[in-house]
Structure 1
Amino acid sequence: MKGFLIASVRSGAGKTTLSLGLMAALARRGRKVAPVKCGPDYIDPAFHAAAAGRPSVNLDSWAMTTEQVAGLASRQIEGADLLVAEGLMGLFDGVGHVAGHTGSSADIAATLGLKVLLVLDVTGQSTSAAAVALGAKLLDPRLTILGVVLNRVGSERHRRLCTEAIEALGLPVIGALPRETTIELPERHLGLVQAEETSDLRQRLDGLADFVERHIDIDRLIDLCSDVALSTRTTDAPLPPPGQRIALARDAAFSFVYPHHLTAWRAAGAEILPFSPLANEAPDRTADVCWLPGGYPELQAGALSAADGFLAGLRAFAADRPVHGECGGYMVLGMGLVDAAGTRHAMAGLLGLETSYEKRRLHLGYRRAKLLSDGPLGPAGAVLTGHEFHYASIVTIGNDAPLAEVADAHGSAPTPDGSRRGSVSGSFFHVIARVD
């Protein structure tokens, strides 16, 4: 079982382009690719699944224990013959100073014994690209750079100058991608436009595979990559199922669910009952818990506000069973949501929260939460790790009790966060794992 991790020294250097192109090219060669995404990201794993033909999984060294990372990776490679991991941000970028638990892609590579395929955007440089490659090679002694892919190469001379300088360091250059804007995937404010919304996704992935096949020596890459350093050990679900029968909102407004949660819940015997609020569907009355994940409710606020069947069904469900909302789901549980144009849309009214996108403000980062009461996320006192990533502003939190005491990854004092009222709870916090 071999594998490698695709990384760069910064965001926007071409990791996703190369990752999707390689996954698609390898899959059509008949390789059984096990895709992995480092860090907190909902959108890229759906593209991985489409490219590789197999579900992806998120691995996070800050939010998960080493045992959870290894257990999820062990299950991910079952039935596969090649693990392909996509890093986040820069290879070494993370938080805190706990060795091996910074949330960086480097930590995942070290934990799994993966060599690194380094993507370098060489725009505006030639020989100087070797200095960047050398820094990546030397900075972390746990890692081995298996090779380099040059991205946004302007000419054959440009490619030659970069390649000669980097290979003089003993690092093989196994490909050079020219500047090409026609293969870029559409984006919006939280990243790529979601896979299920990209109508020509298969055509785009085939184009990426063709692009990578033309410019990357894939056979040499496979020869250079390492064995995955995993035992067969497994671990309990990072987040136990919130119920035996889970009504899960699932459509363009509610799509941010981590694959490792759904896989683990099903493995624990739970049944997932998807429903679409945008299609005016209510949660299944036979479910014992309702989960409203994050997504893009701000883009669908008018349709959600007009979905009387969904809202009435949700209120009826909440009368005697737990309902939990994460981020976008939390906003829909509130009184109202103001969209980017300044129009207010009435929401479910199950919590006192009012939110607005009229003046966007980025909220981003890891969070550690201690629950203040029993609920779908666990018992009072349970400790959860996760993250926030949204642009909404809170107009008013209302008079509801807080859900948890929450701190960031930088040593801040815990503060009350989220809302709970009766059997209804929510917060902007996306849960990755339970670590108590």
Structure 2
Amino acid sequence: MSVRAIMVAAPRSGGGKTTVTLALLAAFRRRGIRVGAAKTGPDYIDPAFHAALTGRPGLNLDSWCMNPALLAATLEAARQDVDLVVVESAMGLFDGLVTPEGARGAPSDIASCFNIPVLLVLDVSGQGQTVGAVAHGFATWQPEVQVAGVVLNRVASPRHARLTEEAIRAAALPVCGTLLRQPGTPLPERHLGLVQAREHHGLTDWLEDLADKAERELNLDAILATARPLPDTLLQAENSQNGNRQAAPLPPGALPPPGQRIALADDAAFSFLYGHLALFWRRAGAEIVPFSPLADEAPDPSCDVCWLPGGYPELHAGKLAAAEQFRRGLATFATTRPVHGECGGFMVLGEALEDAQGTHHRMTGLLGHVTSFARRKLNLGYREATLLAPSVLGQAGTTLRGHEFHYATVLEAGADAPLAQLRAGDGTDLGPCGGRRGGVSGSFFHVLACGPAALPPHPAVPHTGSA
């Protein structure tokens, strides 16, 4: 039987997409359906919840960062050994960059490219028949994107349900569920989104309750019927651009593994590694060896590179500062082998980190910057980085695509050379970013994929420490 897929989308963030996605995954799994999941756009946290439910790696699909071959290879991985893939949309269904068409980073790009029908989640709080006009607009805005059904969320009463359901049917769309607004304990949030799945001790019970709610208030049979088979040509499309997959396991655009044995920091402070990176690194023959800085563990000395991903070091700064074995072991490792830090990992590579209360905590000092979580400023958006020198990320001139999402600021830039030249997704020049010293490198930039081409040369810009 062909693997089917459906996308859960909404007009905006906070409309209930994650709740509906998790409810569907939990309810279908309970019915014995093998489920897989993916998230459009750059996001670490929601895919971790997907992984907790499906037992499979959380994967991302991003049309701006990832070329068509890499998208196809990632979706092919998501559908292996499952019956249904539920794709959770980021932001609003049509939200993304202005250009290029079909590669704006919008969830609609993914729905259109792979012919995935959309289950539209509408938060109807404070609305009545107007929701019909909203649904009609979404269904007709982009003809190649099919809105196959609607779930009404945060419905206040039976009368409210009748009004909104009738409006959706007047828009010639099926109502696939009506989720009543009710008191309860939502998933807790913090500054970068939901609290991580690994930190929820009661997650299993919460998901069981969510599956019960789905059985009561969603038409699961209708939703399953709207799912459409994924094209059987996914892998062929990948191979047509990549040649023999056995000879070249990395699809075009995938970031090559930074080493053969990769020491990976992995705990509540360091958890933001994209699932497709780890997946394709392993397929290319690399081995990932996790360790926990919070448990005062050092990178395995048998590894040939150390990767410190992003996460929440600002919430654990005191414990990291006291982790002497981790700090000494990382320093020893860095004398002979590369160490790279992304976002939170970059913060820990610096001299110090100021927490939310303004307390300074000593970090590893492998780079010279000082960062602060007390003096917050939101940095968010797509980024294209061109490496200024060779590093574990590639040769000088290599272009990478990814994003920034952090509130931390740089208090002191230090004297390290910048790692890369940075541009926003719309082409705005953001100047140099990050730092490098010997084999140690890092920045606030999260990489998703290799870019299409190197950026043109930039004039020399003094390093200001902004990242």
State the 1:228 CA deviation: 1.5
C-alpha contact 2:6 2:226 (8 A) present in aligned 1: no
Q: What residue number does 1:123 align with?
A: 125
State the 1:364 CA deviation: 0.4
Q: What residue number does 1:378 align with?
A: 394
1:239-250 alignment to 2 at 5 Å? Answer: 239-250=255-266
| 1:351-380 CA-partner distances (Å, limit 9, x unpaired) | 011000112111100100111111111111
Q: 1:178 aligns with which of 177, 180, 187?
A: 180
Structure 1: distance between partners of 2:312 and 2:361: 14
Does the alignment pair 1:318 with 2:334? yes
Structure 1: distance between partners of 2:438 and 2:55: 42
State the 1:183 CA deviation: 4.8
Q: What residue number does 2:245 align with?
A: none
Q: What residue number does 2:190 align with?
A: 188
SS at match of 1:272: strand
Q: 1:220 aligns with which of 209, 219, 222?
A: 222
Counterpart AA for 1:307: A
Structure 2 unaligned blocks of 5 or more:
243-249, 453-467
| 1:5-40 CA-partner distances (Å, limit 9, x unpaired) | 000001111000000010011111111112011110
Displacement over 6 Å in runs of 4+: none
1:279-358 alignment to 2 at 5 Å? Answer: 279-358=295-374
SS at match of 1:47: helix
Structure 1: distance between partners of 2:130 and 2:315: 43
Q: 1:268 to 1:206 in 2, by over 3 A?
A: same
Structure 1: distance between partners of 2:367 and 2:306: 15
SS at match of 1:85: strand
SS at match of 1:123: coil
SS at match of 2:429: coil
Counterpart AA for 1:430: H
1:9-408 alignment to 2 at 5 Å? Answer: 9-231=11-233, 232-233=235-236, 234=238, 236-237=250-251, 238-408=254-424
C-alpha contact 2:343 2:443 (8 A) present in aligned 1: yes
C-alpha contact 1:352 1:399 (8 A) present in aligned 2: yes
TM-score (norm 2): 0.92
SS at match of 1:247: strand
SS at match of 1:376: coil
Structure 2: distance between partners of 1:157 and 1:91: 28
Counterpart AA for 2:358: G
State the 1:414 CA deviation: 5.1
Aligned residues: 436
Counterpart AA for 1:342: G
Structure 2: distance between partners of 1:328 and 1:21: 31
Structure 1: distance between partners of 2:194 and 2:437: 34
Counterpart AA for 1:295: G
State the 1:224 CA deviation: 1.9
Structure 2: distance between partners of 1:76 and 1:221: 19
Structure 2: distance between partners of 1:101 and 1:122: 30
State the 1:223 CA deviation: 1.3
| 1:260-281 CA-partner distances (Å, limit 9, x unpaired) | 1111111111011111001111
Structure 2: distance between partners of 1:181 and 1:366: 36
C-alpha contact 2:133 2:171 (8 A) present in aligned 1: no
Structure 1 unaligned blocks of 5 or more:
none
C-alpha contact 1:153 1:159 (8 A) present in aligned 2: yes
| 1:114-133 CA-partner distances (Å, limit 9, x unpaired) | 01000000001110100110
TM-score (norm 1): 0.98
Structure 2: distance between partners of 1:141 and 1:320: 56
Over the aligned positions, Cα root-mean-square deviation in angstroms equals 1.1
Structure 2: distance between partners of 1:20 and 1:158: 25
Q: What residue number does 2:460 align with?
A: none
Identity of aligned residues (%): 54
Q: 1:186 to 1:292 in 2, by over 3 A?
A: same
State the 1:83 CA deviation: 1.1
State the 1:207 CA deviation: 0.8
Counterpart AA for 1:321: R
| 1:179-233 CA-partner distances (Å, limit 9, x unpaired) | 0241521111100000000010101111111111110111111112222235123
C-alpha contact 1:40 1:387 (8 A) present in aligned 2: yes
Counterpart AA for 2:142: D
C-alpha contact 1:5 1:84 (8 A) present in aligned 2: yes
Structure 2: distance between partners of 1:277 and 1:403: 24
